[in-house]
A and B are shown apart, each in its own frame.
Chain A
């Protein structure tokens, strides 16, 4: 007789789950595709976001009041008072291209950020119109244009005050309403925009991390012919599927850890390169994000298994499961531009609930424990129902015989 199981304290089905789970983990830890998907792919999103953040930091680097900006100007000598005012505000002048067409081309093509044109008619006049040739499609142009406009508005206020004083009126007389902006956001910072991209990208990776394993251990086994020998072993079908799902879940968890860690490291490095960028949330926030997304990982794996067991080939499964991550990531991308507030109802929707919670965490807002509970329970329940459906399909004769 063969050696018998020694872990008698453990229910038999748990022992069988553990045996299959161990085999799948060993098998796929030797698989380059599974490892690439778990360890390399999750770096790509964070690298892209951090790259964007780095560029934004370089664009924003420095303070207008401290750093001079050089503006190609035409006819600035016609407005000497404006010229002096601009120079006092750290604006320097350079020679602009000789013709109007050359000036517009240079700005359009990005060779010059802006060209300032003062008409000859400004000579000796108190009021005149200047032109700023700009290209609003470029962030760097927008920044210089915005700075020049603000200085010229300051010049206008300065002249208005001088005229008011000359007429015996109080300063500010010509300006009926002044605006003082008070920003209550975490920071008036471009970095926050980039941090808001984290939730959809994290969710995208969650739906991608275990996908190769889900396909390879189900429809892949059938294609290779190894499923039939496996089904000859005295093991419940649902136990086999559960063990395979747990293996996919383990790979998804590793993917998510790498993904979140890469976001924190790369974004932290990018943010530290500029004094104009606010730092990303701390490691403790990323740890909470991981915890909050565990039920989402379960849903992702359950969906992957259910699709994988009903498809006829690995190729077919790859097509469907390749598209799957886009669906849950879509609401996240929408929320980057149109934020939604979490409520008891919205957090109860699987995927959306986690998206809202991660958004709150990235925004360094406190989570409502009730929302966390609702989101986790509804998502885990969904995962269980989807898995039961997959297990039912896994028992079908067509799964392993007719293909």
Chain B
């Protein structure tokens, strides 16, 4: 389970987070949606220990990330928006490297790598250097790297960004399988159809704080619209209006 409590974070003149809170439950897919600059990536970076919050805290399976970053990271698998592969390492070497960094080694690690390669459909390029990989291949390597230590909690930032239809579908199926296995999954996406298909819970973020949360049906009812994109637009418009009225 991932818990975010009242996070605030400021970068020089920019207030990135202003008291963001949310909870992502085990066995459910929680979608974090919001406009660009809403603070989603900053919140993720605090959860996986890259940034320290000014106030508030993030917990992964009860572990306060700021107090024990490495323990929290062992229970997290992360797919960042920028895949960031090493062009001179093969797909298999990428997964092995990150498995080893998580403390795995030997025959068991190699078996896990083989299983991931088969599961993610990477067999035909597993031993090729990453330079020249397509976006879909890059995504699969990044997913393999995030899953090699079998984390209970997953953070997926734009998991289907730039993928073709078939690859997107394969990723969605994988995410659904992980949910069925009881993993806690927190995703960020701008693709409302994908959010609608995948997410059990939604958290809408604007200006660094939570402006609405609930199941898709609860949010549809709250906004008075069926289409999730329309729900998103109405909630943001309502938030802006409230902010202007307060000024």
A-to-B contact residues, CB < 8 Å:
1-7, 12, 16, 19-20, 23, 26-28, 30-31, 221, 224-236, 397, 400-402
Contacts and interface: CB of A to CB of B under 8 A. Distances in A.
Nearest to B107: A3
A232 B48 contact: yes
Given A227-B84, A228-B84, A397-B52, A2 B102 contact: yes
Contacts of B98: 229, 233
15 contacts: A2-B103, A3-B106, A3-B107, A3-B111, A3-B112, A23-B93, A26-B93, A224-B87, A229-B78, A232-B49, A232-B50, A233-B101, A236-B70, A397-B50, A401-B50
A249 to B, nearest CB: 20
Give 4 closest A-B pairs by Cβ, nearest first: A3-B108, A225-B84, A225-B82, A226-B84
Interface residues of B, number: 46
Interface SS of B by simple majority = mixed
Contacts of A397: 50-52
Contacts of B82: 225, 228
Contacts of B170: none
A401 B51 contact: yes
A2 B93 contact: no
Contacts of A28: 88
A12 B99 CA distance: 15
B13 to A, nearest CB: 12
A7 B107 CA distance: 14
Contacts of A228: 50, 80, 82, 84
B163 interface: no
Interface string B139-171: 000100100111000000000000000000000
B191 to A, nearest CB: 21
Nearest to B72: A234
B73 A3 contact: no
Interface in B102-156: 102-112, 129, 142, 145, 148-150
Contact of A234 (B70, B142, B150): B70
Contacts of A235: 70, 101
A30 to B, nearest CB: 4
Nearest to B75: A234
A86 to B, nearest CB: 70
B1 interface: no
B112 A2 contact: yes
A23 B97 contact: yes
Contacts of B104: 2-5
Contact of A400 (B50, B71, B87): B50
A42 B82 CA distance: 37
Contacts of B80: 225, 228-229, 232
B11 to A, nearest CB: 6
A2 B150 contact: yes
B76 to A, nearest CB: 7
Contacts of B76: 232
